Structure 1
Amino acid sequence: MYRTFENMFSYKILASAVILICHSFYNPTDSGAVQITQNNIDMVLASNEVVFINFYAEWCRFSNTLMPIFDDAADEVTKAGYDPGKVVMGKVDCDKEAAIATRFHISKYPTLKLFRNGSPAKKEYRGQRSVEAFAEFIKKQLTDSVITFGHLKELQELSEEKRHIIGYMDRRDQPEYDVFRKVAGSLKDECLFHAGFGDASKQMHPPGQPIVVFRTDKKTSVEPDETYNGSLLDFDELNTWVQQKCIPLVREITFENAEELTEEGLPFLILFHQPSDNESVKKYKEVIRKELQSEKQSINFLTADGVRFEHPLHHLGKSLSDLPLIAIDSFRHMYLFPDFKDMEKPGKLKEFLQDLYSGKLHREFHYGTDAPHMAISTDVKVTTPPESTFKKLAPSKNRYTLLKDEL
């Protein structure tokens, strides 16, 4: 009797110990975002379709403000019950894991990056920083990136304001579609992806030979549609081609993407236009495509809704009645292209850019067009070109700790 009681007591102690051990693994100490280190990062990225990482530093006050929100969001995502291997929210202490920070070019804290199928998204997360917003962002990432069409006539109704990638497939379970779907997941913020299967697309491709086609944003572009000629089984090859088609040479700047564009560090060549003026946008894009593609590593080619960006116009001494007009924002000053109509004269817009690079624009705006290049006479009246307005849309010091400010 005594031995039986002793055995029962020992069993209860053992059971309690097991419960405590499990509790320590799966409850508060393990709640929140997964701590990512050099030892587990490759495994985490390789074994999950979507990984959302908070790169932080413990000494950064913005990191400390964000951390409990991000951890709570990770708990919400866990509660949502996504299938294993679908999604992980993680966090990297960049002081302890400097190699990871260097690997992914972290230049400010906290930085939020999305990884899909092991590769980082081109854009970092810049949306609202709340539990609800993070949970909704993850939900959106896990929804199907490909819109299925059941008949070819549906493609006649596609928006002419968007760029589209269309897949004509035999069936949903073929390996080419699996690659197509992964590319769509990586670039769905840049293009709209569509796919038709079987009878819905058999008129568009030979049996057993699926094809992928790019359709341009016809409303404001004159680029031709194009069929992909590479291997549909090669993710990297297809992804590179789609990226080239979906991220245009000339982009539209908005308040949503301005921070990202300014962070690229290149001056802006901007066409300000009326919202309904698609013709000027087309002409501008065509000039850039024909004459200035080689300059894309040195400058960002942009269009801007003059109504939404009326403030920079006022800085230039212009109003909506002066549209369309072209200007350069060097992040120091703004320079106005003299006459929009001259844009289509061969070489005029390129000359405007060369004058920026050589410093001629800066000299002329300060000292006038007749000022000598090397020496400035003391009786020349010095003027001041309008200051940059777009540099104010760069990463906010009220949201990030910039590394250069901490060194």
Structure 2
Amino acid sequence: MSSFCDSFHLKFIICALIMVCVTPSYVNAGAVKLTKDNIEMTLASNELVFINFYAEWCHFSNMLGPVFDEAADKIMEAFPEANKVVMGKVDCDAESSVASRFHISKYPTLKIIRNGVPAKREYRGQRSTEAFVKFITKQLEDPIKEFHQLKDLSNLDDKKRMIIGYFDKKDVPEYQTFRRVAMNLKDDCQFHVGFGDSSQAMHPPGQPIIVFRPDKALSNDEDETYKGSLMNYDELNIWIQEKCVPLVREITFENAEELTEEGLPFLILFHNPDDMTSVKDFKDIVTTTLTDEKQNINFLTADGVKFAHPLHHLGKSISDLPLIAIDSFRHMYLFPNFQDIFTPGKLKEFLQDLYSGKLHREFHYGPETNNKLPQLDGQARHPTAPPESTFKKLAPSKTRYTLLKDEL
């Protein structure tokens, strides 16, 4: 009997060992736990890292955790190759230095790091396993579209800024540098490339070039060729970023939360979607006279049909377009006459009146005369209420980092 038991016991052990060897291990299932000891290597060695910054005591963090872990498992199955993608998580209480480095102040916060560089835009989409998998899959798509004939470039959208590369072949280090930059800035520009015969007429043999093509329908900017080294990632990244992120940007419902979070007041041109002339004029005036104000205010254009609600707050309608207003996140102030932008210094004066508080005082008490509040029939003018800010409502929630779509 004992020999049978011993034999049975030995077979059981062997069977158990075999099961351990062939059964997938779930010890490290879910998102990779990132700490100050492993985060540098993780960021440096992977094309894309998607991080959930959470706090154990946070209700929303606890709700998101299992969903994020499940998505991490699915991503690992879909993209098993090394150095491709990692979904990680950071316990911000245990790893305060890491949280501080990434300026985390709300939980959970979801950040994307491409090739070691944090993306400007954080993840603000739906928080479900399916949405995360779809997002990561989209992020890993090649950011550069290949054209096969030069005439294909004439069919590109002239309302988009784009970077075009002309190369002899793909397997050169210059193209790998170009692709890394494209991965980081694909949300800001379109990227296109031609190889061999499709682009040889545009560059000398063995000397690839990169060209910026502006949004010609919306600006008077001109094409420009990159003069630096295509082997220098930092130099190329800075140049392309300067071209792809203009001084005057368009505000949409998709990026309003992000722009609001930057904390700068908005100087907005509301225009009819078919009116490109006023957009070009506004951009030219801002670019030529207000570049020194870019640290103080966000210069934006807005589709006046889509953003009819702010117009209503200003007492205006689509028939009044184009018009310019400042949203200070407290109140909205209307620039009196759009045509006044062509009067030298007039738009800059409007900004200075915001900084000095004059716009606020005059909305409350009427026009100032000799630096004194005006009198009406011997009495001080009664305060009035300027329109409230409408864009402040698109700022991040105080209790949850990302707004839900139905809150926009």
TM-score w.r.t. the length of structure 1 is: 0.93
2:79–2:85 contact (8 Å) kept in structure 1 = no
1:49–1:117 contact (8 Å) kept in structure 2 = yes
2:124–2:402 contact (8 Å) kept in structure 1 = no
> d(CA) in 2 for partners of 1:171 and 1:204?
14
Q: Secondary structure at the match of 2:296?
A: coil
How far 1:16 moved relative to its partner? 2.4
Q: 5+ unaligned residues in a row in structure 2: which ranges?
A: 404-408
> d(CA) in 2 for partners of 1:16 and 1:97?
38
- Which stretch shows the higher mean deviation, 4-13 or 198-207? 4-13
Q: Where does residue 388 of structure 2 map in the other structure?
A: 387
How far 1:107 moved relative to its partner? 2.1
Q: Secondary structure at the match of 1:314?
A: helix
Question: Structure 1, residues 297-343: CA drift from partner, whole Å, max 9, x if none?
Answer: 11000001111111111111111111110000000111000100101
Q: Secondary structure at the match of 1:288?
A: helix
2:365–2:373 contact (8 Å) kept in structure 1 = no
Q: Which residue of the other structure, out of 187, 202, 205, is the alignment partner of 1:204?
A: 202
> d(CA) in 2 for partners of 1:342 and 1:98?
51
Q: Secondary structure at the match of 1:260?
A: helix
1:272–1:325 contact (8 Å) kept in structure 2 = yes
Q: Which residue of the other structure, out of 223, 226, 234, is the alignment partner of 2:224?
A: 226
1:168–1:212 contact (8 Å) kept in structure 2 = yes
Q: Secondary structure at the match of 2:110?
A: strand
Q: Where does residue 289 of structure 1 map in the other structure?
A: 287
Q: Where does residue 106 of structure 2 map in the other structure?
A: 108
Relative distance call for 1:112 and 1:192 in structure 2 (3 A) is same
Q: Secondary structure at the match of 2:380?
A: coil
Q: Which residue of the other structure, out of 112, 116, 119, is the alignment partner of 2:117?
A: 119
Relative distance call for 1:401 and 1:201 in structure 2 (3 A) is closer
Q: Secondary structure at the match of 1:109?
A: coil
> Which amino acid in the other structure matches residue 235 of structure 1?
Y
Q: Where does residue 87 of structure 1 map in the other structure?
A: 85
1:272–1:323 contact (8 Å) kept in structure 2 = yes
> d(CA) in 2 for partners of 1:390 and 1:17?
62
1:62–1:400 contact (8 Å) kept in structure 2 = no
Q: Secondary structure at the match of 1:75?
A: helix
Q: Where does residue 53 of structure 1 map in the other structure?
A: 51
> Which amino acid in the other structure matches residue 26 of structure 1?
S
> d(CA) in 1 for partners of 2:325 and 2:207?
47
Q: Where does residue 184 of structure 2 map in the other structure?
A: 186
> Which amino acid in the other structure matches residue 13 of structure 1?
I
Q: Where does residue 16 of structure 1 map in the other structure?
A: 16
CA root-mean-square deviation: 2.2
> d(CA) in 1 for partners of 2:382 and 2:222?
50
2:181–2:236 contact (8 Å) kept in structure 1 = yes
> d(CA) in 1 for partners of 2:208 and 2:242?
21
> d(CA) in 1 for partners of 2:144 and 2:4?
64
How far 1:370 moved relative to its partner? 2.7
> Which amino acid in the other structure matches residue 397 of structure 1?
K
Q: Where does residue 351 of structure 1 map in the other structure?
A: 349
Relative distance call for 1:83 and 1:21 in structure 2 (3 A) is closer
1:114–1:125 contact (8 Å) kept in structure 2 = yes
How far 1:383 moved relative to its partner? 1.1
Q: After superposition, where does 1:145-160 map in structure 2 within 5 Å?
A: 145-160=143-158
> d(CA) in 2 for partners of 1:362 and 1:372?
17
1:108–1:401 contact (8 Å) kept in structure 2 = no
> d(CA) in 2 for partners of 1:163 and 1:117?
23
> Which amino acid in the other structure matches residue 284 of structure 1?
F
Relative distance call for 1:350 and 1:199 in structure 2 (3 A) is same
Q: Where does residue 359 of structure 2 map in the other structure?
A: 361
Q: 5+ unaligned residues in a row in structure 1: which ranges?
A: 403-407
How far 1:30 moved relative to its partner? 2.1
Q: After superposition, where does 1:241-260 map in structure 2 within 5 Å?
A: 241-260=239-258
How far 1:90 moved relative to its partner? 0.7
1:265 aligns with 2:263: yes
Identity over aligned pairs, percent: 64
> d(CA) in 2 for partners of 1:116 and 1:247?
18
Q: Secondary structure at the match of 1:30?
A: coil
1:33–1:71 contact (8 Å) kept in structure 2 = yes
Q: Secondary structure at the match of 1:162?
A: coil
Relative distance call for 1:379 and 1:12 in structure 2 (3 A) is same
Relative distance call for 1:22 and 1:99 in structure 2 (3 A) is farther
Q: Where does residue 312 of structure 1 map in the other structure?
A: 310
2:269–2:282 contact (8 Å) kept in structure 1 = yes
Q: Secondary structure at the match of 1:26?
A: coil
Relative distance call for 1:401 and 1:189 in structure 2 (3 A) is closer
Q: Where does residue 336 of structure 1 map in the other structure?
A: 334
Aligned residues: 400
> d(CA) in 2 for partners of 1:336 and 1:267?
13
How far 1:371 moved relative to its partner? 5.3
Q: Secondary structure at the match of 1:392?
A: helix
> Which amino acid in the other structure matches residue 289 of structure 1?
T
1:26 aligns with 2:17: no
How far 1:363 moved relative to its partner? 1.1
Relative distance call for 1:81 and 1:400 in structure 2 (3 A) is closer
